Amino acid sequence: MKMGFALFFTSLLLFCTGCSQNGASEGKMDYEETKKMVVDILKTDDGKKAIQDTIADDKTKTELIMDSDIIKKSIEDTVTSDKGKEFWKKAFKDPEFTAAYAKALKDEHEKLLKDLTKDPQYRGMLIEILQEPDLEKEMNKLLKTKEMRAVYKKLIIETMESPLVEAKMQKSLDKAATKAIEKEEKSKTEGKSKE
């Protein structure tokens, strides 16, 4: 970008200097006259178009993108400004944007969470937060609500209808019935032997 503008302005100055040599008293223009002429040229439609063409040039774009300090500063200004904050608030209300954002950062978030769970200091802080009386009170209140009871009921029914749970329950019931029969037979045998 800087190189593109430098070339543009150099050629503009050479043009201005060449054109004005006939009119200048000693073949030289003073700084103020040159500056005024350049500003006037830039205000014309041709001058504006020349700047637009320079900025639109792929090479210039690449050079601009490669200048990371400018990009970082632009992003910082955009994110921290009031307009930037409003933009991000609105953007995160859009489900499509949120999904795309989450998908793009999914791997980084997973890695961060895995790293945090390995960190003893983070785990300690998490446990402290969960053990805070106010939070514990709120959690207990939440767990006792009508909605949560409906969730528990649904979970219990789904669990009970699971084939694995049914098989285990059946096995436990068979075992309990066998023990009860054995106990009953044992008490009958002991009763007969006493007679």
More confident residue, 26 or 121: 121
Please tell me the distance from the alpha carbon of residue 184 to that of residue 85, in angstroms, as a whole number: 77
Task: Count CA within 13 A, CB hemisphere, residue 88.
Answer: 10
Please tell me the distance from the alpha carbon of residue 65 to that of residue 75, in angstroms, as a whole number: 12
Look at residue 26 in the predicted model and tell me its pLDDT: 46
Average pLDDT, the chain: 76
Look at residue 153 in the predicted model and tell me its pLDDT: 86
pLDDT digits (tens, 9 = 90+) for 123-157: 888 888 878 888 888 878 877 888 888 888 888 88
In a domain, 103, yes or no: no
In a domain, 89, yes or no: no
Please tell me the distance from the alpha carbon of residue 59 to that of residue 66, in angstroms, as a whole number: 11
Query: End of a domain among 18, 43, 66?
Result: 66
**The pLDDT of residue 19 is above 70:** no
In a domain, 21, yes or no: yes
More confident residue, 154 or 23: 154
In a domain, 132, yes or no: no
Please tell me the distance from the alpha carbon of residue 172 to that of residue 180, in angstroms, as a whole number: 12
Residue 169's pLDDT band (boundaries 50, 70, 90)? confident
Which range is most confident: 24-28, 137-141, 188-192?
137-141
pLDDT digits (tens, 9 = 90+) for 77-93: 777 778 878 887 888 78
In a domain, 83, yes or no: no
In a domain, 102, yes or no: no
Number of domains in the chain: 2
Query: End of a domain among 41, 66, 91?
Result: 66
Provide the whole-model pTM: 0.28
Look at residue 25 in the predicted model and tell me its pLDDT: 47
177's tokens: 């019935």
In a domain, 98, yes or no: no
Look at residue 9 in the predicted model and tell me its pLDDT: 55
Query: End of a domain among 42, 66, 90?
Result: 66
In a domain, 99, yes or no: no
Residue holding tokens 């050079």? 63
pLDDT digits (tens, 9 = 90+) for 29-67: 577 887 788 778 878 888 788 878 877 777 776 666 655
Tell me what percent of the residues of the chain surpass a pLDDT of 90: 0
Please tell me the distance from the alpha carbon of residue 20 to that of residue 15, in angstroms, as a whole number: 9
**The pLDDT of residue 188 is above 50:** yes
Residue partners of 159: CB distance under 8 A and separation at least 6: 165
Range of the domain at 166: 142-178
